[in-house]
Structure 1
Amino acid sequence: MIFMTRIQRVILSVMVDITVVFVSFILVLWLKPGAGMLYFSDYLAALGIFIMIWVGLSAVLGKYRRIQSNKLKDLLVPVVLSGLASLGAVAILMYLFRAEGYSRFIVFGTIAVATLFDLILSNMVYYVRRSVVIGESVEREYRGLGRTEDAARLHVLPEMETGLEESEVKEYIRSTILEESGEEAFHFLNRHALLNDRKTLILATTSLFNVESKKPGTYHTIINLRRINDIRRMNKFFEAVNSQLPSGGIFIGCAETKDMRKQRIFRKFITPFNYLFYYFIDFPVKRVFPKFGITKSIYFFLTKGNNRVITRAETLGRLVSCGFRIREEAFVGPLFYFVCQKNGQPVYDMHPSYGPFVRLRRIGRDGKIIKVLKMRTMHPYAEYLQEYIYEKNNLENGGKFREDFRISTQGRIMRKFWIDELPMLYNWFRGELKLVGVRPISEHYFSLYRSEVQGKRIRYKPGLIPPFYADLPETLDEIQNSEIRYLEAYDRHPLLTDWKYFWKAFYNILFRKARSR
């Protein structure tokens, strides 16, 4: 393990700053119209002076003191201030010394680009620190809470005035659901719940109060006809429903998924206005703004938390994290409906995995848990669905989950070109991974392995380049056999084995287009 002292962190930050300024200078020279790189030698002395100004002002303004802060504002404000101060200092020096021979484009462009790079790096540092250790809360839920068997037909019902005939109750419920949700939704709900039972509560609400105000244990099924997209504190709402239901109770709800929303917008506007509205207004505001601390406040100011964009994976993942097991899901009319069953208490995940980086719990050497850093390729809360995906779809060729809807569009692109695995170099530098070795896998996936393979696996560090890319196995058994062959060869000739597997994997990746899905 590598632990850095405060002085070492400051030295590293200064070195990064110097690199940022130098790279910014080269980039601006390259962008300058004409033969920009010819200026390189003429500006070297001035660049050295500027680097001293940049580092000195950064130190004075506290940029290096706040590098350990977990607040985004503490990281970004000193960057902006040091950039502005450097701009002012350089402008004054150029005026005092009549430095008219220096290009304003190169000088001020270098400051602007360096400040931009610094802001990007500060954001990355912030989100790496906030990256969730995926697996801890999920494992806690499954390990500690136990499961309940499927109930047969569950008894479900709304609050109705007494004295009404049964036929009147049925007609009232039917007409209410038809008016609120439509005929398709009524038939779906009628198949999964006894709509006229007195232990059914049917709501059309986005208010947490309307759930919490009920007496716990009164109802065995709760149905909400309103989309969860309009619920401001979604998890709190699900947690409240969980607290109202007995073990095995049923919760039925609906959502408009991201893809359904996109289809609705494309139908609503004519081409090309539908593309312009979706990609330049709706997508940035609804999908990009909520992901970053600096724009999240703008998002909530504009939307008040209503009409949120949510994916199918996030919907189901949130439900599982709140103590439910998914029993049924279906696209009904314009909405996505889910039927879930209470099988435990909520996890109360205080750090949902929304950022661009995640830390994955993986089995390391001697069976110890290591936290592997990767770029996010799955939708938020998707980590809670691993067991559900396995039960529903099992594994496909290559040992991946079949039809894994948890992976986002950009995630598929990142996986195809291994962009998501670049942060794992951090674990390599820490000594938790080696260059060639068995793939670092989750505890759930590890449990699918044969016991003899498990025993061999944990004797070694996992690797960045697994034997999978050398042998290209398809089934889980073939993957295990491939790893056994590698480990046995590694036992006999460690360096030679890694050398051979590295170049074989390199060939398959480059010429046979071996890719991660």
Structure 2
Amino acid sequence: MKNKIAKYALFALDLLIIVFAFLFAAKIRPGTKRIILTYYRSFVPFAVIWLGSGLWGQKYSVKTIGGGADYVKRIFKCDLIAVAFIFGLMYLLGKFYYSRYIVFGTISLSFVLELFFYPAVYYTFRFHKENESYASTNLVTHSKAMENMQSPKFFLDSANAVPIISNEPYHLPFSENIDSDSILIPLWQQYLAEQPQLFEFINDYLDLGRFSKNGTLILNSENYFNIQNEPVNSRQIFINLHKINDLRRLNYYFIRVNELLIEGGVFICKGQTISERHNLFYKRWTPYLGSILYGIDFIFRRVFPKLPILQGWYFAITKGKNRAISETEMLGRFYFCGFELIHKREIDDMMYFILKKTKKPCTDPNPTYGPLIRLKRKGKDGKTIYLKKLRTMHPYSEYLQDYVYQTNALQEGGKFSNDFRVTSWGKVLRKLWLDELPQLINFLQGDLSLVGVRALSDHYFYLYPPEMQELRIKLKPGLIPPFYADMPKSFEEIVESERRYIMKKMEKPFKTDWVYFWKSVWNIVVKGARSN
């Protein structure tokens, strides 16, 4: 079914391409309106021939494509046949009346656009197929973990590093002493002899005397096949000295590592964070030129992978190597794949992680990665609604909820004092309220009113007293909650604020919303009120 939908979509895309190419060719010629009126009848057989050759040559059948180069050859073949038919009808049989400029312009632009879009669609399709079971990337996130998460808003004055979780050394979950056969001496004298800082870091937080040589695997490789045949639950510790930014399929690799480790086993790896990447550009190219080059790198390596079509080209060109990954995303992927952080340390412009296996990997096929997210919330009459928002946190942030609670103190009103998951551009979007713009779709769909109580996740909804739960579902949630009018500081004050609003609205709906709307606007614009 998916292949048929893809075929129809590519057919429709090709029709749009040739229509656009024809109109563009006409636009840059004097007398656009006359040209369109003169040639639109002749354009119909042109389109039929072009699309017909595509159907004959299976240009729209992604399933039968053997690779990107094969697809380019197929596009060449289909388009050459179409050109031969069109020119044959025009010059040999004298059919139709065309301007050569319009014909060549339409053909050339159509061919160029096909070469850009079609291989990109193919690579995107293949990427999703390869990662269907291990977290594929979509424009809109349908992650259950994200849909059920209700985090406060965070407004930070500066970038904050991901915190460590503990300074206590980690012991394997068994007490057997194997010092005589431990990995300690080989690790110190052989494997990490030239990396004393790394050995010191590992030795500080692991009791290496309890890790056996036979239970240890040490690699410096980006190749998945080096661990593919490792027996399940066969290793106590696995160390990969190659940066994870070069791993072709990150989640797939981490999940396999999880499988080969015993329960409580340790995974040690390193990665280049985006902060370290940023600093490297500035050191290598000077701050002025470095900022320009880093901006280009940001667009290609952080924006392209998150957008359809462009995502296909990104993975086709890079093969997934040298990715730009935030420290938060790295940690989120680790937790997604069943690991928890023991400790981390920056050594020689690389971030090293010591992780322990604590559970099986998540099965969620669609973690946050694209630009849009949806949040599962309680609507009127208890109906489930899905609010749409622009993503303002790093990818995979939803899997760090417990980690955030463990490492961050809470401020007044239940806010985290430091949430590293919010991106720098996410702070700007939140401060300007741009992340809320997609909720206008929910407003137009009738799921939200302009003013109303905040839409809550099931977890937060059931924290309310039973009588408030009944009151809340009598009305639609709103874009602007009464919080901004009353500015309560504690959970109890929030509940009481909403109770007053609901009782007033049930008595005088229009007047209540009118008063609360303008009071909220005043507090937001003049007093700088922000949501918790």
Would the TM-score normalized by the shorter structure come out above 0.5? yes
Q: Which amino acid aligns with 1:86?
A: L
Q: 2:403 aligns with which of 362, 371, 388?
A: 388
Give the Å deviation of 1:451: 5.5
Change (3 A) 1:515 1:337: same
Residues 1:464 and 2:401 aligned together: no
Output the amino acid matched with 1:153. H
Q: How far apart, in 2, do the equivalents of 1:417 and 1:394 lie?
A: 26
Residues 1:134 and 2:143 are matched in the alignment: yes
CA contact (8 A) 2:241 2:269 kept: yes
User: Which AA in structure 1 matches 2:283?
Assistant: R
- Aligned partner of 1:186 in structure 2 is 199
SS in 2 for 1:248: strand
**DSSP 3-state at the match of 2:217:** strand
Match of 1:170 among 184, 191, 212: 184
Quick check: 1:506 aligned with 2:521?
A: yes
| Contact 2:378–2:385 (Cα < 8 Å) also in 1 | yes
Q: Distance in 1 between matches of 2:312 and 2:193?
A: 36
Q: Shift in Å at residue 413 of structure 1?
A: 0.8
**TM, length-normalised to structure 1:** 0.69
Question: Matched residues in 2 for 1:89 and 1:276: separation?
Answer: 37
Partner of 1:221: 237
Does residue 153 of structure 1 match 2:171?
yes
Matches within 5 A, 1:249-328: 249-280=265-296, 282-328=297-343
Indicate the structure whose relative CO is greater, using CA pairs within 8 Å and at least 6 residues apart.
2
- Residue identity opposite 1:187 in structure 2: E
Distance 1:414 1:378 in 2: 11
Q: Which moved more, 1:445-454 or 1:455-464?
A: 445-454
Q: Can you list the C-alpha shifts for 1:31-84, whole angstroms capped at 9, x where unaligned?
A: xxxxxxxxxxxxxxxxxxxxxxxxxxxxxxxxxxxxx97998567544433222
> 2:54 corresponds to which residue?
none
Question: Residues of 1 paired with 2:31 and 2:530: CA distance?
Answer: 53
CA distance in 2, matches of 1:325, 1:456: 40
User: Which whole-Å deviations, capped at 9, do the CAs of 1:421-467 have from their partners, x for residues lacking one?
Assistant: 11101111222211111222334444655555445434432211011
Asked if the contact 1:136–1:361 (Cα under 8 Å) also holds between the matched residues in 2, the reply is no
What is the distance in 1 between the residues matched to 2:464 and 2:406?
16
Deviation at 1:155, TM superposition (A): 6.5
Secondary structure of 1:362's partner? strand
2:260 aligned with 1:244? yes
Q: What does residue range 301-450 of structure 1 map to in structure 2 within 5 Å?
A: 301-446=316-461, 449=464
- Which runs of no fewer than 5 residues in structure 1 stay unpaired? 1-67, 100-111, 117-122, 141-149, 157-161
Per-residue deviation, 1:259: 1.0
The aligned amino acid for 1:191 is D
Comparing 231-240 with 71-80, greater Cα deviation is found at 71-80
CA apart distance, 1:333: 4.5
Q: Residue in 1 aligned with 2:512?
A: 497
Contact 2:270 2:350 in 1 (8 A): yes
Change (3 A) 1:418 1:241: same
Secondary structure at 2:230's aligned position in 1? coil
Task: Give unpaired runs (5+ residues) of structure 2.
Answer: 37-108, 114-120, 122-136, 150-167
2:76 aligned partner: none
Corresponding letter in the other structure for 1:293: P
User: Residue 84 of structure 1: which of 21, 25, 48 is its match?
Assistant: 21
2: CA distance between counterparts of 1:376 and 1:332? 31
Contact map agreement 1:254 1:338 (CA 8 A) in 2 = yes
SS at match of 1:515: coil
SS at structure 2 position matched to 1:211: helix
Deviation at 1:318, TM superposition (A): 1.2
Q: What are the superposed Cα offsets for residues 210-239 of structure 1, whole Å, 9 maximum, x if unpaired?
A: 223221112233333322111110000111
Alpha-carbon distance between aligned partners in 2 of 1:464 and 1:262, rounded to the nearest angstrom: 37
Q: Shift of residue 274 of structure 1?
A: 1.7
Q: Which moved more, 1:409-418 or 1:204-213?
A: 204-213
Q: Which residue of 2 aligns with 1:26?
A: none
**Aligned partners of 2:147 and 2:32: how far apart in 1?**
61
Matched-pair contact (CA < 8 Å) for 2:326–2:394 = yes
Q: Size of the alignment, in residue pairs?
A: 410
Change (3 A) 1:166 1:352: closer
TM-score (structure 2 length as normaliser): 0.67
Residues 322, 443 of structure 1: CA spacing in aligned structure 2 closer, same or farther, 3 A cutoff? farther
Letter in 1 for 2:186: Y
Residue among 166, 181, 201 paired with 2:217: 201
Cα distance in structure 1, aligned partners of 2:236 and 2:220: 17
The CA distance in 2 between the partners of 1:409 and 1:365, in whole Å, is 35
Q: 1:453 to 1:326 in 2, by over 3 A?
A: farther
Q: Secondary structure at the match of 2:484?
A: helix
Give distance in 1, aligned partners of 2:173 and 2:219: 16
Kept in 2: contact 1:184–1:333 (CA 8 A)? no
- CA–CA distance in 2 between the matches of 1:222 and 1:450? 49
Q: Secondary structure at the match of 1:222?
A: strand
In structure 2, relative to structure 1, the CA distance for the partners of 1:278 and 1:134 (3 Å cut) is same
RMSD: 3.8
Between the aligned partners of 2:257 and 2:288, the Cα distance in structure 1 is 43
Give secondary structure in 2 for the equivalent of 1:250: strand
**Contact between 2:377 and 2:456, CA under 8 Å: does it hold in 1?**
yes
Aligned residue for 2:437, secondary structure, equals: helix
